[in-house]
Amino acid sequence: MADLSQDEWTKQLESDNNSVILDVRTQDEVNEGIIPNAINIDIYKGQGFIYELEELDKTKNYYVYCRSGARSGQACGIMNQLGFKNAYNLVGGFMAWQGEVAQQ
């Protein structure tokens, strides 16, 4: 797992052809906007979160974010334990995001 600033996260994501953006916020938070092309799996689903992660391709590089960066950091740790090699946490999360935002 690596904590990346928004600048690092965005630059790395732009040059990564094997990337997936993962939003681990709640549905209410997602309703406020989402980073384009992100998939949402709510970390608060507990075991359901683990089940949904297990269905993802572990060979991809995951760019993970939440509201502030705390839950996404936890999610990256869980992903590493499950065998995901590359999970990158967006420091500051969606609150600090300066890039494009899409509506669900």
Mean pLDDT within 52-78: 97
- Annotated catalytic residue, options 66, 78, 90, 91: 66
Q: Which of 72, 48, 51 is nearest to 62 (CA)?
A: 72
The verdict on residue 71 lying in a domain is yes
CATH number at residue 47: 3.40.250.10
pLDDT band at 1 (very low <50, low <70, confident <90, very high): confident
The verdict on residue 101 lying in a domain is no
Mean pLDDT within 60-86: 97
Q: Which domain holds residue 90?
A: 2-96
The verdict on residue 70 lying in a domain is yes
76 assigned to active site = no
The string of pLDDT tens digits covering residues 5-60 is 999 999 999 999 999 999 999 999 999 999 999 999 999 999 999 999 999 999 99
